[in-house]
């Protein structure tokens, strides 16, 4: 099984069309028999959980039945001609990460979209991490109060390359997708940071989430650009 994360960045003038795309894209993704699971999402302003949306930036996360070689990765191959044509017509900058799920746990809307994964493996190469949660309404204030300091620490952590904040429902269904030079450096941040460890403890003890998911991926390829850069390819030569 292969997973794709595609980020679309629209020109300022096309922001209304970015909103519209979230409705338009549903049909071609729904009828695509090679796609097993997909989510159309908005993005946070600062590359992680954020109350403020980045109205120029939107994303598709999908799982595909067949493996797709890096040489053949394109919007057409992944999602069909409608999505490709839309992005081209409105001058979108696009960035595509192709990924292989390695380990994880949890559910997304009651499903296991990345298959029945092992919770732990010995993989220690470059890694992408998806942390996703549906936040209970009575815990929203606590969540947003604690998440900002963690985000500030993450972008300064050794081994951190990039992150994208993605979400289905503003403030409630949120996810952070981050990329690290190695799994060990990611773990050092996740478990050695007192601030992050305390947030993890609170989420479990106080039951902030009605559903959550944590998945690590091996990075297969990095195509296109985001804000004029390809942060994974430029640093990992993938």
What is the pLDDT confidence band of residue 237, given thresholds at 50, 70 and 90? Answer: low
Bridge partners of residue 135, in order along the sequence: 209
| Tokens (6 digits) for 88 | 């081209």
| Tokens (6 digits) for 111 | 């499903």
* H and E: helices and strands count for the chain: 8, 8
pLDDT at 44: 87
Contacts of 103 (CB under 8 A, 6+ apart): 117, 118, 119, 120, 121, 123, 215, 216
pLDDT of 40 over the 90 cut: yes
Question: From CA 92, how far away is CA 48, in angstroms rounded?
Answer: 21
Average pLDDT over residues 19-45: 95
pLDDT at 238: 60
Question: From CA 78, how far away is CA 101, in angstroms rounded?
Answer: 17
pLDDT at 118: 92
pLDDT at 66: 82
CATH 2.40.170.20 at 2-236, yes or no = no
pLDDT at 188: 87
| Strand-strand pairing, 53-64 and 35-44 | antiparallel
pLDDT at 62: 97
Question: From CA 52, how far away is CA 24, in angstroms rounded?
Answer: 24
pLDDT at 215: 97
What is the Cα Rg of the chain in Å? 17
Contacts 24+ apart (CB under 8 A), 35-41: 35/62, 35/63, 35/64, 35/65, 35/79, 36/1, 36/63, 36/64, 36/65, 36/113, 37/62, 37/63, 37/108, 37/111, 37/113, 38/62, 38/63, 39/108, 39/168, 40/168, 41/166, 41/167, 41/168, 41/175
The predicted-structure confidence for 97-143, as pLDDT tens digits, reads as follows 999 999 999 999 999 999 999 998 989 999 999 999 998 888 888 78
3-state SS class at 132: strand
165-195 burial string, b = 16+ CB within 10 Å, else e?
Answer: bbbbeeeebbbbbbbbbbbebbbebbeebee
């Amino acid at each position: 099984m292969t997973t794709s994360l595609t980020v679309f960045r629209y020109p300022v003038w096309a922001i209304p069309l970015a909103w519209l795309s979230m409705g338009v894209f549903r049909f071609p993704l729904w009828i695509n028999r090679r796609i097993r699971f997909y989510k159309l999402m908005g993005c946070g302003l600062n590359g992680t959980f954020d109350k403020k949306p980045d109205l120029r930036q939107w994303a598709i996360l999908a799982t595909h039945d067949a493996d797709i070689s890096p040489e053949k990765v394109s919007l057409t191959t992944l999602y069909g001609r409608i999505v490709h044509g839309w992005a081209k017509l409105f001058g979108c900058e696009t960035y595509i990460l192709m990924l292989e799920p390695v380990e994880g746990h949890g559910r997304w809307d009651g499903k296991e979209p990345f298959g029945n994964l092992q919770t732990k493996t010995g993989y220690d190469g470059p890694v992408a991490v998806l942390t996703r949660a549906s936040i209970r309404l009575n815990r929203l204030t606590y969540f947003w109060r604690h998440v900002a300091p963690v985000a500030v620490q993450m972008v300064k952590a050794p081994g951190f390359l990039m992150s994208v904040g993605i979400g289905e429902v503003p403030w409630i269904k949120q996810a952070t997708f981050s990329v690290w030079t190695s799994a060990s450096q990611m773990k050092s941040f996740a478990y050695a940071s007192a601030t992050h460890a305390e947030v993890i403890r609170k989420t479990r003890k106080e039951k902030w989430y009605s559903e959550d998911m944590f998945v690590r991926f091996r990075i297969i390829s990095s195509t296109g650009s985001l804000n004029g850069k390809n942060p994974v390819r430029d640093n990992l030569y993938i």
